[in-house]
């Protein structure tokens, strides 16, 4: 999260790196939160699971904003 916080403080660099303004990024992340939670809930209640909920490797990126940033930077590059 520290990288994201530092990048947000420099809007020009943020825009060049991510391809969106800080305001657009915040709006997109707010819109995605609901859809992410619904998808996660569906994934967890799937009957064809191989492991119980909580099993397996945990996510390295905990925050949705960091996941979104990773995807957007990958698309720009």
Whether the per-residue pLDDT at 75 is higher than 90: the answer is no
Rounded-to-integer distance, Cα 1 and Cα 62, Å? 9
Provide, rounded to the nearest whole percent, the portion of the chain with pLDDT above 70.
96
Q: Which two tokens stand for residue 29?
A: 């992340």
Domain count, the chain: 1
* Owning domain of residue 72: 2-47+56-76
Task: Compute the average pLDDT of residues 3-29.
Answer: 93
Which residue reads 């064809």 in tokens? 48
pLDDT bucket at 32, cuts 50 / 70 / 90: very high
Task: Compute the average pLDDT of residues 54-65.
Answer: 83
Whether the per-residue pLDDT at 16 is higher than 70: the answer is yes
């Amino acid at each position: 999260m520290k990288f994201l916080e530092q990048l947000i403080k420099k809007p020009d660099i943020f825009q060049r790196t991510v391809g969106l303004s800080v305001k657009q990024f915040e709006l997109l992340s707010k819109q995605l939160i609901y859809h992410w939670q619904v998808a996660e809930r569906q994934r967890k209640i799937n009957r064809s699971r191989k492991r119980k909920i909580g099993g397996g490797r945990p996510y390295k990126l905990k925050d949705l904003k960091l996941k979104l940033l990773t995807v957007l930077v990958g698309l720009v590059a």
